[in-house]
């Protein structure tokens, strides 16, 4: 009979849980959670994104995006702007406050990754990251 962690899939599941917990604990004092942080990080790379783009790229349900952007707007980290092309869409953009928040919390994020990857040296971390990216595939790119 195979052991509990013979399955890479189950290992991934458990480590994913742990990773999310560490991230959320690290973000707790800011009032945000990992999901909000992911939205901010994505917005920082795209200079404005439709909510459906956020949904597709982050893998969150469209209905979840609504609440996340609501929260970010309340905190002044993001704004909804009307799309000139399509009046159904809203363009979500990062505010200056959001950008400085990202800069301030950047160190905390890398600290979490350090805790998580503890026993691995730099080379192993690179290897792991590359393998995970391969698994992630286009859906999460």
- Between CA 22 and CA 44 the distance in angstroms is 22
Token pair in block for residue 105: 């919390």
Residue 79 CA from chain centroid, whole number:
18
Site map (CB under 7 A) of DNA, residues 48-67, x = contact: --xxx--x----xxxxxxx-
Contacts of 114 by beta carbon, 8 Å cutoff, 6+ apart: none
**Residue 23 or residue 90: which is nearer to its own copies going by CB?**
23
The length of the chain is 141
Q: Does 19 engage in binding with DNA (CB under 7 A)?
A: no
Q: What is the DSSP-derived secondary structure letter of residue 6?
A: G
Which one of the spans 66-74, 83-91, 101-109 is the region binding its own copies (CB under 8 A)? 101-109
User: Which residue in 18, 16, 91 sits closest to 59, CA to CA?
Assistant: 16
Q: Does 30 engage in binding with DNA (CB under 7 A)?
A: no
| 31 interface partner picked from DNA, its own copies, none, CB below 5 to 8 A per type | none
Q: Does 28 engage in binding with DNA (CB under 7 A)?
A: no
Contacts to its own copies by CB under 8 A? 1-5, 7-20, 22-23, 34, 38, 41-42, 44-45, 57-59, 102, 106, 109-110, 112-113, 116-120, 124-125, 127-129, 131-137, 140-141
């Amino acid at each position: 009979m195979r052991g509990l962690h013979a399955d890479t899939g189950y290992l991934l599941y458990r480590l994913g849980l742990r990773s999310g917990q560490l991230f959320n604990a690290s973000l707790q004092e800011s009032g945000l959670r990992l999901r909000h942080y992911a939205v901010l990080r994505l917005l920082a790379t795209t200079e404005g994104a439709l909510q459906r783009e956020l949904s597709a790229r982050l893998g969150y349900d469209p209905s979840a995006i609504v609440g996340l952007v609501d929260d970010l707007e309340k905190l002044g980290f993001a704004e909804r702007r009307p799309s000139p092309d399509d009046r159904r869409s809203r363009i979500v953009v990062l505010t200056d406050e959001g950008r400085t928040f990202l800069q301030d919390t950047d160190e905390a994020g890398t600290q979490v990754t350090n805790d998580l990857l503890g026993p691995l040296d730099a080379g192993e971390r690179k290897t792991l990251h590359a393998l995970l990216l391969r698994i992630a595939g286009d859906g999460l790119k």
